[in-house]
């Protein structure tokens, strides 16, 4: 079957539907692209936490019934998943054994001597992924330049394997010194493990994170090993469930870098799935920002559980070489994103001193907010928005879910307003102000640590709860523009819909960035390009649908950190080398307010993204959310609590707004799956793309 899913026996009259699914903590979002008409069909169902694949199939089958296509019509299924992230957060992981160079068994526990709380009197608790009794050293040693200092002792390795068999480990990670230069010893260890302990999942650092820094590389490799059975089991179950239902389209999973991976690739390197869902929203934000003519955007995704923040600067999303998942370093390329526990389902509570708190715990999909009538008892941000009139109890989720306003009021009164001696309205308004301050504070931190000013950026808000708070957050930050995508509630699924296959490769070689070493750098680039092409060959990707992008991790000589700088072509000339150094100096000055042009610059790691372009998704200029979309559907007025009091506010149906239409605040703009609150002094214009641009009045 081809990458578009059209088999030789496919009827000519069959529809061609591409499906993207983003499974969140509260809702499972779906977008379908009709490849023949360009229509985008959006759908949303509650997530099924006990098995996310159940909700995924429910979303697909109910969307098929709603929009009149069959599962056989689906040509491609791309899936963003939180299965890996949830396994890490809950520590629902098997027992891991670690094989490392003798004498380096404790690298994983020693870690880095960095402290989050520099004034804390007690050591910070830190998770060690492999217990001391499950960490084994084997006699071998390869130097940083690839010289074999000590040959691998096979007899010693056999003794280590005996101990692993006896300890009952469910997975094995192999991280040897110098393997990022010469992986031969790791390969030999893996082969002997396969002979002695067949079927035991094994993860090797030279395949997962072939870079310097033993702690980060080892942590990433162990985490990858721990996730292998989790993700492989999930993918196998998902494939079985979809095939049984009659869905035979090719399946891809979204990675943390925004690219797609086959099930086999996802199962072998599941650590690349840790930001699977959120990365789709950043990919879509980059495209919408370009269409709106905005180069500098803060993209924020507010769903039911979290608030994700990503920076798009000069038209490009930022990708980092290392991230942090629940305090665990992960050294693989991923979209640069900050996440806080603040969403529509975030629980409102009082701490032991009586102070108001919001999150990070969430009501999730089950039981969900009190107003969902599913057994929830703790008030949430969604309940507060309902109490303040910002949500319509009768039309929530397009009328599919009727909200319980008295229940939300009673819960807020019982848990917050009563204990604080406030009216229900005052308590709700206070919670809302606190939420806005917390969201704005997280954005400030994301920008300030890069040396950036919020006033130089526009806010792009999406996610089911984002539009309820976006204007307030922008005003808190001094921003004057907010972009609302045309389908903000399923926007991450929209980005997933446009994903391409991406393989990330790296070579660590510490080389002075000067003309004398130009040939050596270009040799590394050629090796990476050859490896990238080989991987795309395995994907059966034709040459005309391939893109190879290089980037370099650079630093001043002697620094302990690097900055990633993109390269403009597959090879460097003398002029390109000088331009690369100049861009590093400028980036260093932006981040740290200084640069040292008299100091030598070093290349530490050369990176390559091998991209295979899936058949282009070409959405129509306007989307189809429901039958009859685009026809005027005025909704009248609603009483909403704004600016400290209740006001009658116009309610507008977004689907009735033609290109160029203008809406003046205060107003509410509704669509089936989300609500946008437009404050007074702001105007909204519908762009040709169907997206909305809100601008603050200059006065």
Give me the residue label for tokens 């990022």.
180
Rounded to the nearest 10°, the torsion over CA 573, 577, 582, 588 is: 140
Going by C-alpha positions, the residue among 683, 676, 680, 677 that lies closest to residue 643 is: 680
Strands 251-254 and 260-261, bridge-based pairing:
antiparallel
For the domain 17-88+232-273, what is the CATH code? 3.30.420.40
Sign, CA dihedral 582-587-590-591, equals negative
Can you tell me the distance from the alpha carbon of 209 to that of 449, in angstroms, rounded to the nearest whole number? 26
Judge: domain 502-612, CATH 3.30.1490. Answer: yes
Q: How far is CA 121 from the centre of its chain?
A: 35
Residue 289 has pLDDT above 80, yes or no: yes
Give residue 3's pLDDT: 40
**Higher-confidence position of 643 and 286:** 286
pLDDT (tens digit per residue) in 338-392 = 888 888 888 999 988 888 888 888 887 678 899 988 888 899 999 999 999 999 8
Q: Which residues pair with 638 in a beta bridge?
A: 649
Can you tell me the distance from the alpha carbon of 649 to that of 679, in angstroms, rounded to the nearest whole number? 10
Q: For residue 16, is it left (φ>0), alpha (ψ between -120 and 50) or beta?
A: beta
Going by C-alpha positions, the residue among 622, 619, 535 that lies closest to residue 284 is: 619
Can you tell me the distance from the alpha carbon of 130 to that of 95, in angstroms, rounded to the nearest whole number? 7
Give me the residue label for tokens 């070493």.
517
Residue 628 has pLDDT above 70, yes or no: no
Residue 482 has pLDDT above 90, yes or no: yes
Q: pLDDT grade, residue 43 (50/70/90)?
A: confident
Q: pLDDT grade, residue 447 (50/70/90)?
A: very high
Count how many Cα atoms sit within 13 Å of the Cα of residue 562 in the half-sphere of its side chain. Answer: 23
Instruction: Please give the span between the terminal C-alpha atoms of the chain, in angstroms, as a whole number.
Output: 59
Residue 418 has pLDDT above 70, yes or no: yes
- Give me the residue spans of the domains in the chain: 17-88+232-273, 89-231, 346-421, 502-612, 637-696
- Cis bond upstream, residue 666 (ω within 30): yes
Give me the residue label for tokens 């942590």.
219
pLDDT (tens digit per residue) in 579-617 = 999 999 999 998 888 999 989 999 999 999 999 988 665
pLDDT (tens digit per residue) in 648-682 = 998 998 888 888 888 988 999 988 888 999 998 99
The predicted model gives 388-415 an average pLDDT of 86
Give residue 120's pLDDT: 76
Can you tell me the distance from the alpha carbon of 266 to that of 81, in angstroms, rounded to the nearest whole number? 11
Rg value, the chain, Cα: 26
Q: pLDDT grade, residue 622 (50/70/90)?
A: very low
pLDDT (tens digit per residue) in 159-170 = 999 999 999 899
Can you tell me the distance from the alpha carbon of 103 to that of 150, in angstroms, rounded to the nearest whole number? 13
Confirm whether pTM is higher than 0.85.
no
Give residue 6's pLDDT: 41
Q: For residue 610, is it left (φ>0), alpha (ψ between -120 and 50) or beta?
A: beta
For 404-433, the DSSP string reads -HHHHHHHHIIIIIHHHT--HHHHHHHHHH
Give residue 24's pLDDT: 76
Residue 458 has pLDDT above 90, yes or no: yes
SS3 253: strand
Can you tell me the distance from the alpha carbon of 34 to that of 620, in angstroms, rounded to the nearest whole number? 9
Q: pLDDT grade, residue 696 (50/70/90)?
A: very high
Can you tell me the distance from the alpha carbon of 43 to that of 59, in angstroms, rounded to the nearest whole number? 7
């Amino acid at each position: 079957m081809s990458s578009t899913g059209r088999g030789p026996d496919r009827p000519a009259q069959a529809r061609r539907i591409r499906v993207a699914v983003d499974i969140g903590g509260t809702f499972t979002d779906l977008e379908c692209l009709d490849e023949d008409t360009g229509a985008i069909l959006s759908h949303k169902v509650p997530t099924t936490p006990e098995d996310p694949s159940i909700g995924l199939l429910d979303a697909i089958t109910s969307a098929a019934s709603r929009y009149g296509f069959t599962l056989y019509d689906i040509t491609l299924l791309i899936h963003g998943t939180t299965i890996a992230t949830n396994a890490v957060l809950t520590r629902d992981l098997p027992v891991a054994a670690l094989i490392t160079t003798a004498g380096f068994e404790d690298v994983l526990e020693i870690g880095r001597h960095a402290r989050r709380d520099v004034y804390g009197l007690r050591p910070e608790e830190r998770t060690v992924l492999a217990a001391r009794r499950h960490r084994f050293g084997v006699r071998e040693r390869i130097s940083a330049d690839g010289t074999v200092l000590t040959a691998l002792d096979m007899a010693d390795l056999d003794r280590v394997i005996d101990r692993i068999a006896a300890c009952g480990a469910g997975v094995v990670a192999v991280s040897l010194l110098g393997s990022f230069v010469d992986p031969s010893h790791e390969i030999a260890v893996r082969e002997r493990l396969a002979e002695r302990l067949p079927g035991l999942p094994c993860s090797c650092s030279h395949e997962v994170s072939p870079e310097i820094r033993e702690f980060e590389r080892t942590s990433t490799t162990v985490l990858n090993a721990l996730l292998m059975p989790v993700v492989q089991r999930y993918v196998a179950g998902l494939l079985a469930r979809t095939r049984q239902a009659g869905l035979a389209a090719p399946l891809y999973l979204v990675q943390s870098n925004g690219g797609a991976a086959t099930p086999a690739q996802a199962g072998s390197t599941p650590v690349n799935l840790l930001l699977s869902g959120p990365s789709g929203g950043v990919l879509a934000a980059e495209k919408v920002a370009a269409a709106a003519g905005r180069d500098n955007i803060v993209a924020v995704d507010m769903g039911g559980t979290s608030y994700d923040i990503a920076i798009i600067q000069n038209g490009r999303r930022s990708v980092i070489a290392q991230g942090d998942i629940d305090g665990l370093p992960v050294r693989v390329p991923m979209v640069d994103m900050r996440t806080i526990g603040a969403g529509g389902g975030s629980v409102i509570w009082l701490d032991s001193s009586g102070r108001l708190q919001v999150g990070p715990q969430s009501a999730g999909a089950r039981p969900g907010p009190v107003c969902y009538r599913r057994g929830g008892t703790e008030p949430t941000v969604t309940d507060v928005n309902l109490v303040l009139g910002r949500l319509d109890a009768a039309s929530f989720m397009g009328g599919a879910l009727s909200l319980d306003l008295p229940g939300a009021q009673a819960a807020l009164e019982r848990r917050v307003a009563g204990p604080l001696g406030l009216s229900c309205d005052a308590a709700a308004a206070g919670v809302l102000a606190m939420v806005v301050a917390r969201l704005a504070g997280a954005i400030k931190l994301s920008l300030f640590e890069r040396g950036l000013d919020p006033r130089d950026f526009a806010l792009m808000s999406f996610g089911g709860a984002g539009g309820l708070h976006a204007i307030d957050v922008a005003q808190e930050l001094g921003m004057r523009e907010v972009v609302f995508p045309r389908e903000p509630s399923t926007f991450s699924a929209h980005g997933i819909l446009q994903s391409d296959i991406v393989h990330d490769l790296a070579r660590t070689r510490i080389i002075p960035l000067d003309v004398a070493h130009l040939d050596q750098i270009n040799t590394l680039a050629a090796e990476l390009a050859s490896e990238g092409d080989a991987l795309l060959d395995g994907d059966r990707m034709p040459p005309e649908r391939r893109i190879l992008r290089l980037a370099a991790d650079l630093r001043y000589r002697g620094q302990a950190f690097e900055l990633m700088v993109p390269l403009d072509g597959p090879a460097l000339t003398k002029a390109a080398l000088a331009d690369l150094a100049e861009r590093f100096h400028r980036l260093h000055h932006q981040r740290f307010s200084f640069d040292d042009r008299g100091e030598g610059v070093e290349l530490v790691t050369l990176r390559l993204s091998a991209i295979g372009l899936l058949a282009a998704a070409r959405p129509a200029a306007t989307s189809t959310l429901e039958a009859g979309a685009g026809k005027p559907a005025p909704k009248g007025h609603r009483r909403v609590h704004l600016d400290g009091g209740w006001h009658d506010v116009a309610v507008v149906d977004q689907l009735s707004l033609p290109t160029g239409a203008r809406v003046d605040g205060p107003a509410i703009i509704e669509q089936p799956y989300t609500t946008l609150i437009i404050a007074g002094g702001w105007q909204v214009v519908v762009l040709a793309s169907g997206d909305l641009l809100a601008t603050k009045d200059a006065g």
